[in-house]
Every structure is written in structure tokens, then in C-alpha cells.
Amino acid sequence: MYTAGIDIGAITAKAAILRDGELLATAAIPAGYDRARAAGRVLELALAQAGISRDQIVRLIGTGYGRVLVHGADRTVTEVTCHARGAHYLCPEVRTVIDIGGQDSKAISVGADGRVLEFVMNDKCAAGTGRFLEVMAQALEEDLAGFGALALAASRRVTISSTCTVFAESEVITHLAAGADKAALAAGIHEAIATRLATLVGRIPVRDVVVLTGGVALNVGVVRMLEEKLERRIVVPGYAQLAGAIGAALIAYTDVMDR
């Protein structure tokens, strides 16, 4: 039996396919302007990887910002629920999930069965999100893929005091004009986002094991500095960016089994 989940986020479209409740195939592409088209395309890529056709999928769940644009979905589920389930699948010991997406961040307290106990969310400001890092990397003319490593290579950190992405960008440009070292600025930027995330996470009880999901989980600088702020080890599982899609596919599987 095949089930699928599609997660249409602010920046990336992801898909996951399960066979009898076990992960079989995944795909991820830029969401772009046409989110409905991205949903169809990312599912096509996952189906090709799995070697099956669309009509073999018995149930499909949509999640993420663009979940209502997942044509053919049997139902939609919030990304909070899906990331909790996906993180639990990837790391069954998880008790706290930190999901850092392109436009929002979430801290989720998770039960032993992967269900959401409580959560908090930052969806009013880009600070503390992937968008913040993207803007800062552009300001430094650095590749986003290596931005975290650049931050960890610094011997010092330049403090970024602005809590607004727009003002922080102006602050970085001012530091650059004054001759500040790029690595030191990158370190300060990563510390700033880690501080904001730690404040968000502190609004719920933080229990081990702490798992990081979302695209920003791939940034080693954010992981390291968030560990410093929380004084806890953070687990970044394989498929961290795909946790929402995996969770959606798991919920689809549960739906079928509970019929």
C-alpha cells in the first residue's frame, strides 16, 4: 500500500511516499510562483523515484503554507502536526521539535507517540527564519549553502543588535562599510538568529531529545549556536527538510489503517 504527503512551504515543495508505512521515496524542488504546479511536479518526481504511478497512491495528504493548492489531496493537515509526526518517525525519542522554515519558525512539544502536546510559532516577522539568513547572505555576497560554515570559521562575532530583518541588513551593511570581517559578521548573524529561536523555544517546556527540522536544519552554524543557547544537544536527522511531507504521508497511512 502506498501513501503520500506533499508539503508546500514558503520556499520549497517537498513530497514523500511510503510503502506500508515505511519511507520509499522523496523529492524536493523550489516552490516558485505557481505552488499548484510545484505540488504536481514534486509528486511526479517522487513517483518516478518510487517507480510507481499516481493511481497506486491510495491516500494523499497536503500540508504547509500551500496545502490547499495540492490538487487531488484527500485532506489537508497543519504543518505543526505533520512536522511532529515526521520528526517522531525520523527520531522516535524526540520530545521537542524546532522547525525553522523559510517564513516562520515553530517549537513543538511532542508526546511519546509523536502527537503535538503544545506549540508556539513565530509567523509575524522574518527574523528567526530562513528568509533572515537568505537576506543576510545576500548582504555579505556569500553563498547560502556555505554560510553556516563561514560563521563557524570566525575567531570572533560581531554583535547584530537589530531584531528586524530590514534593520539588521542595514546594520550589516554599515559594519561592512567600516571594514568588519565577513566571517565575524556571519558569526554574529547566526548568533542573532539562534538567540531569537532560543527565546521562542523557551516558551514551551524543552525536553530531550530535541530535533531540528526544516531547511535551516542544514545550516551547521545555526545548529551549533542554537545548541549553545539552549545548552542542549540538537539532533538533525536525515531527511530533516522533508519531515513535514513524511509526517503527512504517515498521517495518510494512519487514515487508511483506521478505516
Looking at residue 167, its pLDDT comes to 85
Q: How far apart are CA 82 and CA 115, in angstroms?
A: 9
Q: How far apart are CA 231 and CA 39, in angstroms?
A: 38
| Residue entry with cell 556569500 | 142
Domains and CATH numbers, the chain: 1-91+242-259 (3.30.420.40), 93-236 (3.30.420.40)
Looking at residue 123, its pLDDT comes to 64
Terminal C-alpha separation, the chain: 14
Burial string for 170-186 (b: 16+ CB within 10 Å, else e) reads ebbeebbeeebebbbbb
Looking only at the bridges linking them, the beta strands covering 96-100 and 234-235 are unpaired
Contact between 246 and 23 under an 8 Å Cβ cutoff? The reply is yes
What CA dihedral angle connects 158, 107, 81 and 78, to 10 degrees? -60
- Beta strand segments in 112-203, E: 116-122
239 CB-near residues (< 8 Å, 6+ apart): 23, 26, 90, 246
pLDDT (tens digit, 0 to 9) for every residue of the chain, 259 residues total? 999 999 999 889 999 999 999 999 999 999 999 999 999 999 999 999 999 999 999 999 999 989 999 999 999 999 999 999 999 999 999 999 999 988 889 999 999 999 999 999 986 677 778 888 999 999 999 998 899 999 999 999 999 887 788 888 899 999 988 998 999 999 999 999 999 999 999 999 999 999 999 999 999 999 999 999 999 999 999 999 999 999 999 999 999 999 8
Looking at residue 124, its pLDDT comes to 65
Please tell me whether the overall predicted TM-score, pTM, comes out greater than 0.85 for this model. yes
In the sheet where 234-235 sits, what is the strand order? 116-122, 105-110, 96-100, 210-213, 234-235
